[in-house]
Amino acid sequence: MKIAIIGGGIGGLCAAVTLQKQGFSVQVYEANSMFQPVGAGIGIGSNAMQALMEIGVGEDVFANGHVLHTQVFQNQNGKSLNTVDLTILKKLYGQENITIHRAKLHRTFLEALKPNTLNFNKKCISTEQNDDQVTIRFEDGTTVTADILLAADGIHSSIRQQLVPGSIPKYAGYTCWRGITENKGRVDEYTSTELWSTKGRFGMAPMKDGLVYWFACINTAARNPQFQQLNSQEIGGLFQHFPEVVHNVISTTPLKSILHHDISDIKPLRHFVFGRVVLLGDAAHATTPNMGQGAGQAIEDAIVLGNGFKQFEHVDKVLAFYEEKRVARTAKVIRLSRQIGAIAQTQMRPIAGVRDFLFPFIPSKVLMNRLKFLFDVKLK
Ligand SMILES: Cc1cc2nc3c(=O)[nH]c(=O)nc-3n(C[C@H](O)[C@H](O)[C@H](O)COP(=O)(O)OP(=O)(O)OC[C@H]3O[C@@H](n4cnc5c(N)ncnc54)[C@H](O)[C@@H]3O)c2cc1C
């Protein structure tokens, strides 16, 4: 079977590794001319680590990652609102939550691929299918055919928007900067911290090699020109109401190590499979980053699809299995992640007051139980 994958992001590359290991002929087509060393960290949840272990790259990802033992939530004065013990993940599910540099995650996938799998400067502009094959047309005038097309072309997926008109990204109401800088003892070695206020939210987590990954979000209109060209000091200035370490971490991050995006998701889809075209990763279920699960869900997609091919001979059954396993689960993540964002980003003082009053009374175990569905992942 010949499988074409559009998009060489985390989802597309993970799918390519998974399917190639099962002996399929796989080609990845990426619009960009090369891989940029993506300047941000990423959290990989226990569920995604469990999935990566199935395809033999988990050990490498773990070795390049940094384990988190605790997740702390604080108010704007740095007073603890709640603490979640993450060490129980290992005991319960066999894998921990880690942080990793995105570039290292990409490199792990790239190194696991056969030579000549990736094709750069290949922007897909249209697809056509009949009962047996899909034809993919690229901007450079070339075409290829495949038995199955995996559309892993991200949140703005043009393939999804052709198949499901109107499935455009929906702005969540907040814009987000994220960066990587040297830790220099400012952030606890095993603790991920998130601070909430009515004027913004800030999070930071340690990474390997003495680095720290942070994100900072404020509510504003989409594409607000006021926030497009800020330097590190100016971004830090927006979060000065938090403890000093927050401003310090942001303002000492070199501007070239800061990314800025408005946060969006898509309305959950009812289907990921359209004949021989299969949506995967953000193209299928882009979510807000409040649960740190977008890439994790893309990784799960890839492994579940691979397991479908192992379990069923007929491709229709494989794709039905994929939809059954993935549509409802990822819809739940999209919805829950939006809700968490709305609570964490609220600007309404009475609501924030009630939140900050009640949150400390919720036992860590109850918070973890709420996420049991996520970490207790069934990939087969
Ligand atoms: C602020 C922020 C923080 C996040 N933090 C986390 C986190 O901690 N943990 C986590 O799990 N997730 C996180 N995510 C989500 C995560 O980054 C995404 O879910 C993940 O990268 C999606 O991977 P993908 O491969 O589906 O899409 P993408 O990474 O978007 O890759 C799509 C690829 O397709 C290519 N492409 C697009 N169109 C075409 C075309 N027409 N032809 C050919 N190629 C094309 C693009 O160039 C790109 O390389 C975060 C997201 C944001 C915005």
Distance 240 CA to ligand 1 centre (A): 30
Q: Can you read off the two tokens belonging to residue 364? A: 């860590």
Give, to the nearest 10 degrees, the angle between helix 315-344 and helix 294-311: 160
pLDDT band for position 298 (50/70/90)? very high
Residues 6 or more apart in contact with residue 26 via CB below 8 angstroms: 3, 4, 5, 16, 19, 20, 117
Asked if the structure places residue 202 within a domain, the reply is: no
Q: With a 6 A CB cut-off, is 203 part of the ligand 1 pocket?
A: no
Q: With a 6 A CB cut-off, is 261 part of the ligand 1 pocket?
A: yes
Asked if the structure places residue 47 within a domain, the reply is: yes
Asked if the structure places residue 185 within a domain, the reply is: no
Distance 187 CA to ligand 1 centre (A): 27
Q: With a 6 A CB cut-off, is 335 part of the ligand 1 pocket?
A: no
| Mean pLDDT (whole number) for 108-129 | 97
pLDDT of residue 136: 98
Residue 89 φ/ψ region, left for φ over 0, alpha for ψ in the -120 to 50 degree band, beta for the rest? alpha
Residues 6 or more apart in contact with residue 175 via CB below 8 angstroms: 217, 218, 220, 224, 227, 260, 261, 262, 263
Asked if the structure places residue 148 within a domain, the reply is: yes
Asked if the structure places residue 112 within a domain, the reply is: yes
Asked if the structure places residue 95 within a domain, the reply is: yes
Query: Per-residue pLDDT tens for 124-161?
Result: 999 999 999 999 999 999 999 999 999 999 999 999 99
Question: What is the domain-level CATH number for residue 126?
Answer: 3.50.50.60
**199 SS3 class:** coil
| Mean pLDDT (whole number) for 357-380 | 95
**What range defines the domain where residue 37 resides?**
2-169+265-375
- Nearest atom (ligand 1) to Cα of 263: 53
- Nearest atom (ligand 1) to Cα of 45: 11
Q: Taking all residues of the chain, what is their mean pLDDT, rounded to a whole number?
A: 97
The answer to whether 24 and 314 have CB atoms below 8 angstroms apart is no
Give, to the nearest 10 degrees, the angle between helix 10-21 and helix 102-112: 30
Which residues in the chain belong to E strands, given as ranges? Answer: 2-6, 25-29, 41-44, 66-67, 70-74, 80-85, 98-101, 118-119, 124-129, 134-138, 143-146, 148-151, 170-182, 191-197, 200-207, 211-219, 258-265, 273-274, 277-279
Asked if the structure places residue 339 within a domain, the reply is: yes
Percentage helix, strand, coil, to 5, in the chain? 40, 25, 35
| Residue with CA closest to ligand 1 atom 2 | 289
Q: With a 6 A CB cut-off, is 152 part of the ligand 1 pocket?
A: yes
Tokens 């099962």 appear where? 22
pLDDT band for position 239 (50/70/90)? very high
Asked if the structure places residue 130 within a domain, the reply is: yes
| Residue with CA closest to ligand 1 atom 51 | 289
Domain count, the chain: 1
pLDDT band for position 366 (50/70/90)? very high
